[in-house]
Structure 1
Amino acid sequence: MAGTRPVFYISDGTGITAETIGHSLLTQFTETRFVSERIPFVDTVERAREVIETIRAAGERHGTRAIVINSCVNAEVSAALGESGALMLDVFAPFIEPLERELGEARKRWIGRAHGMVDFETYHRRINAINFALSHDDGASTDYSEADLILVAVSRAGKTPTCLYLALHYGICAANYPLTAEDLEHDRLPPRLRPYRNKLFGLTIDPMRLQQIRQERRPNSRYAQLETCRREVAAAEKMFRAEGIPTLSTTHTSIEEIASKVLTTLGIHREMF
């Protein structure tokens, strides 16, 4: 195994873009252990020089050269960061020149465009979608007339985090419905869901994984017993098959993958924020 490499995601904005791209890159390298830190709002040369000391100290501590994944748009700030001696990876550099040639337009070095409040209408749509997800979480409200989609599953199968992800990143009004013991006694959809059949997507999960999750929430309860988990998952899957509800297992699937599959399956096209 190679050693541990310190990695810094540095930006003059939130750093989310640098961290997202950087994480995707580093997951391709499995023989090196990475320890990372996101440093946002590095928007002056003075601030960059302060950060340099942090980068150098990390390199000395680990006995290796640090890696900086940089999304700063200010050339002077980026140049200052380069004095750290770290491997500098500019996330925009490979794309800017080809785009400028193709579009016949020089880039505008605006800070915070990727994750700032640039479009107030879009921003408020995200806020409204988050409020919708929270107010329609776990069957709290069953008025689904304004819902873009409804996730259906047994308790702790991943409904809530997926709904919140869809709201935050796509402005999707996502509700979720927890299948109760009474619901699972039948092979048919609960009556309150039937009018919204075209909005439904079922989530399932391996019973052993479900048991682990429930055990953390309610240790040694009937709710967390493996037999309970097996019975509920089997009944839910039987219902989904009988009703023709599209289904995905969340056992080894990330929230990002779940969200993408749900949107694709239901034919919902929305730009990611």
Structure 2
Amino acid sequence: MAADEGIVQVFFLSDSTGISAETMGNALLIHFSQLRFERRLIPFIASVAEARRVVAVLDEAADGPGMAIAFTTAATDEIREVLLTTRCPVIDFFELHMSRVESVFGVTAERSIAKLHGVGDVQRYNARMSAIEYAIEHDDGQSLRALDKADVVLVAPSRCGKTPTTMYLALQHGLFVANYPLVEEDLDASELPRPVRHLRERCIGILADAKRLSEVRQARRPNSRYASMEQCRFELRQAEAMYHANRIPVINSTTRSVEEMSTLIIQILQSRTKDRS
């Protein structure tokens, strides 16, 4: 995996869903706003062979031009032992905390993957899984089915941060989130795109700094019209006019983490609920 020298590659590893590794890892990363992170979730590492393949990925990142770090909550000893052979720095949440808890209780924990699926409120867990499935299906306008079920619809030009925010809201809050990309033909009109027009009261617009958007797009499609400053400025200007015309809330994602974006979105949803009551 190629990496920019100024970007820290972050890996979340788990022999289960990886929700815990992401939650705890991001809780630490949020305090390093001076750094830029490229996050990758690697869940369901179910065998030693898979763990070795993950180690190869981690080693490549560790030997690259930039920095790398991994957070793991793998519960199975043999999986964890293999993961810890990597040259990449690893924060092992499971062993770090479990050993201390075992010492307090004076008994050895049952270190089983299955136990993780029983953590907390099963109903809440299932609700989050349904929200994740919905988010995946409705990412980047891939499906228009059951859009009416969305708690919120994020609308934005490409690469403004819709997808990571969508997934975080689903993972952490169990919200049904759809996101819809504004393509050039959408931006020729002041109205919202037809598929989401009837959901205006659930829409939230996202903007970004043109320079930052161009940098992100350059990494995806170098030296393309899509990544040019002129195109980025045009799309952001037209998107902002559309949001204003339809009186939908707007969030700028340039300097905000997904956690901050999600907090603002939840505050907007709560405000809307109060206004209707």
Shorter-chain TM-score bucket reads: 0.5 to 0.7
Computing the radius of gyration from Cα coordinates, the structure with the larger value is 1
SS in 1 for 2:98: coil
Question: How far apart are 1:79 and its partner, in Å?
Answer: 11
Instruction: Look up the match of 1:139.
Output: 141
Instruction: Look up the match of 1:250.
Output: 253
Which of 163, 166, 188 is residue 163 of structure 1 equivalent to?
A: 166
Provide the rounded CA distance (Å) in 2 between the counterparts of 1:239 and 1:179: 10
Instruction: Look up the match of 1:120.
Output: 122
CA deviation vs aligned residue, 1:148-198 (integer Å, no higher than 9, x gap): 110000011111111111111111110001111111111222232221111
Aligned pairs for 1:198-237 within 5 A? 198-237=201-240
CA deviation vs aligned residue, 1:44-72 (integer Å, no higher than 9, x gap): 9xxxxx9xxx9xxx9xxxxxxxx998433
Which of 121, 129, 132 is residue 130 of structure 1 equivalent to?
A: 132
Aligned length: 212
SS in 1 for 2:242: helix
Instruction: Look up the match of 1:72.
Output: 98
Which of 183, 188, 191 is residue 191 of structure 2 equivalent to?
A: 188
1:213/1:125 CA distance change after superposition, 3 Å:
same
SS in 2 for 1:178: strand
Is the contact between residue 43 and residue 72 of structure 1 (CA under 8 Å) also seen in structure 2? no
Is the contact between residue 214 and residue 232 of structure 2 (CA under 8 Å) also seen in structure 1? yes
Is the contact between residue 18 and residue 71 of structure 1 (CA under 8 Å) also seen in structure 2? no
Identity %: 36
RMSD: 4.2
Question: How far apart are 1:124 and its partner, in Å?
Answer: 1.9
Q: What letter matches 1:139 in structure 2?
A: G
TM-score w.r.t. length of structure 2: 0.62
Provide the rounded CA distance (Å) in 1 between the counterparts of 2:271 and 2:129: 19
1:181/1:110 CA distance change after superposition, 3 Å:
same
Is the contact between residue 42 and residue 72 of structure 1 (CA under 8 Å) also seen in structure 2? no
Is the contact between residue 155 and residue 182 of structure 2 (CA under 8 Å) also seen in structure 1? yes
Provide the rounded CA distance (Å) in 2 between the counterparts of 1:194 and 1:252: 29
Is the contact between residue 151 and residue 203 of structure 1 (CA under 8 Å) also seen in structure 2? yes
SS in 2 for 1:248: strand
Provide the rounded CA distance (Å) in 2 between the counterparts of 1:233 and 1:250: 12
CA deviation vs aligned residue, 1:203-233 (integer Å, no higher than 9, x gap): 0001111111111111121111110000000
Provide the rounded CA distance (Å) in 1 between the counterparts of 2:219 and 2:68: 27
1:263/1:72 CA distance change after superposition, 3 Å:
same
CA deviation vs aligned residue, 1:240-269 (integer Å, no higher than 9, x gap): 112111001111110111111111112189
Is the contact between residue 191 and residue 197 of structure 2 (CA under 8 Å) also seen in structure 1? no
SS in 2 for 1:177: strand
Instruction: Look up the match of 2:243.
Output: 240
